[in-house]
Amino acid sequence: MSLTAGIVGLPNVGKSTLFNAITKKNILAANYPFATIDPNVGVVTVPDKRLEYLEKLYIPERTIPTTFEFTDIAGLVKGASTGEGLGNKFLSHIREVDAICEVVRCFEDKNIIHVEGNVDPIRDIEIINVELMLADLEIIDNRLGRIGKKAAMSKDKETKFEVDVLTKIKENLEQNIPLRQVSFEEEELKLIKPFNLLTLKPIIYMANVSEEDLLTNGNSYVDQVKEYASRENAEVIVVCAKIESELSELNDDDKLAFLNDLGINESGLDQLIRATYSLLGLATYFTAGEDECRAWTFRKGMKAPECAGIIHSDFERGFIRAEIMSYEDLEQYGSELKVKEAGRMRLEGKEYIMQDGDICHFRFNV
């Protein structure tokens, strides 16, 4: 299951530096607009201590964590929706991601130019959000222009329904309301899904601060971002791109020691990965044995056969049942055998809704 979060922001807010840290890729991070022209995609592992426990317990030949893709998208500027900068190209890249991580500059540094002349995080957020709304509005207006007259002249229920939904979207966008804040029925969402609307995508704000402000958990700029984000129930993660870049060069032990010295429990990027995973309604199940321990990503609400199909389509096609124990039970009893002896191993059928932390063995026949 391939899912991608796009990292967006104005030029020179720390996007590419953070992306370098996330993926340990040495892409161009320059102090001028449009240093990133083509989207850079990096695959990261989702940190999960449960997989570490399974590895110690089973001592497998290989351990495979679940992964997540981040795409670094070049800096947007005011007017991107009408093609300013390299706007149209960048907006098309954002349409391809599942969630948006918006990096906001919350630090002062006279040596790093700001494309708008000064640091103002709320202005920066609104520049990007307005450009995304204008891009969505253009799509809706174009579609309404094509089917509006047809709906008025005919009694076709499907066409009228589409016009009603698009009109609802248009009215909200014209009031500067991003579509993720608008309530939609299931049928409405099904209708608008092919449009891949930008402001319908879930969002996380990343407040990029200085080293000093990270240690005090922010500053007045961060407070402004948190207040803004709270109005749309969005999460804010406070990061220092410079520190994250330094952490990315260390091995796990040195990284932990560095974080301990700073008095920080978890890196900002690990927080971002977890938050994005949660934002998209994702969860993890495991397969475990002496040959391999592996984490698998699934969407919450998926049934056992669908999750089996993530491993291989034959598993879903020929699904019989799943032998499942919870991670909590395995940790409590200490071994698979003891879980069975305690009567905590379960056989689940086709209607079973998978849970985060399930450890599974799928039985199938094709």
Task: Convert the pLDDT of each residue in 34-46 to its tens digit.
Answer: 334 345 777 888 8
- Is the pLDDT assigned to residue 77 strictly greater than 70? no
Q: How many residues does the chain have?
A: 366
Give pTM, 2 decimals.
0.81
- Is the pLDDT assigned to residue 52 strictly greater than 60? yes
356-364 average pLDDT score: 96
Q: Which residue has the higher pLDDT, 296 or 109?
A: 296
Task: Specify the pLDDT at position 78.
Answer: 60
Which helix or strand (DSSP H or E) is residue 45 part of?
A: strand 40-45
253-268 average pLDDT score: 86
Q: Which residue has the higher pLDDT, 345 or 116?
A: 345
Helices within 98-219 (DSSP H only): 121-153, 157-174, 186-192, 211-215
175-204 average pLDDT score: 93
Q: Which residue has the higher pLDDT, 366 or 258?
A: 258
Q: Is 127 helix (H, G, I), strand (E, B) or coil?
A: helix
Task: Specify the pLDDT at position 30.
Answer: 40
Task: Specify the pLDDT at position 327.
Answer: 98
Q: 150-184 pLDDT, tens per residue?
A: 766 777 788 889 999 999 999 999 999 999 999 99
pLDDT averaged over every residue in the chain = 86
Dihedral angle, C-alpha 102, 105, 111, 113, nearest 10 °: 60
Q: Which of 17, 10, 18, 6 is nearest to 34 (CA)?
A: 10
- Is the pLDDT assigned to residue 83 strictly greater than 80? no
Task: Specify the pLDDT at position 20.
Answer: 80
- Is the pLDDT assigned to residue 22 strictly greater than 80? no
